[in-house]
Amino acid sequence: MKLTKFAHACVVLEKDGSKIVLDPGTFTPDAKDAVSGATAVLITHEHFDHFDDALLATALDTDRGLRVFGPQAVLDKLGSHDGRVQAVKAGDALTVDGFNVTIHGEQHAAIHADIPLVDNLGYLIDETVFHPGDSYFVPRAAVDTLLLPTSGPWTKLGDAVEYVRAIKPRQMIQIHELMLSDLGQNSTRTFLANLTGIEETLLLPGQSINL
């Protein structure tokens, strides 16, 4: 399986000629390219930096084979598109064009008491790579490759360290990075390596890694 990093929270997974996309949002300038040719899009939660509803509405109209999965709010915003948009929840399992997907977690991490929590789902793909969305939820499953959010109003370095220690992945790849400068990203990488013993991989948008 090949993972290609796009800006912020968006990644593309490909294998055996199939392609799925996670969290193409408005902070991802080339989200349209990411979605083009995909079998399915998985959305962790409704925030605009993870879910560009206008882009996906157009993509669903253009590509009649495209499917979108996410929490209920995604279905509410997009409509069903003849059943091709489906609401999913924690505990569900999907098979999407050869990819096996299990769904974990419940809510977005707290930002502030005055900001309501929204539903947030984490996706474990092929029992290998886990995208947690905006949450430090620990799935009850082994995770080989953790996609680790490193910036945002809800993140905290100490919590991220404990999260990595709890999951114990073989490797971690940075996502959700746009609120950190290059210096901040590398500083975070150093702290994580020193405190967890796992080197974080920093991929530039467009770069890929084989999992």
Those residues whose C-beta lies under 8 Å from the C-beta of residue 159, and which sit 6 or more positions away, are 136
Find the distance separating the first CA and the last CA of the chain, reported in whole Å.
Answer: 5
Question: Whose CA is closest to 89, among 130, 48, 121?
Answer: 121
* pLDDT for 154: 97
* pLDDT for 51: 98
Per-residue pLDDT tens digits for 179-195? 999 999 999 999 999 99
What CA dihedral angle connects 54, 34, 124 and 101, to 10 degrees?
80
* pLDDT for 69: 98
**Does the pTM exceed 0.95?**
yes
* pLDDT for 185: 97
Cα–Cα distance for residue pair 169/211, rounded to 1 Å = 13
* pLDDT for 74: 98
Contact 134, 44 (CB under 8 A): yes
* pLDDT for 128: 97
* pLDDT for 36: 96
* pLDDT for 184: 97
- Tell me the one-letter amino acid at 72: Q
Residue ranges in the chain whose pLDDT is less than 50: none
* pLDDT for 84: 98
Those residues whose C-beta lies under 8 Å from the C-beta of residue 120, and which sit 6 or more positions away, are 44, 45, 71, 105, 106, 107, 108, 109, 133, 134, 135, 137
| H/E segment holding residue 143 | none
* pLDDT for 68: 98
Contact 34, 2 (CB under 8 A): no
Cα–Cα distance for residue pair 129/1, rounded to 1 Å = 10
Contact 160, 187 (CB under 8 A): no
Cα–Cα distance for residue pair 204/196, rounded to 1 Å = 23
The alpha-helical segments, DSSP class H, found in the chain are: 31-35, 53-62, 72-78, 157-167, 182-196
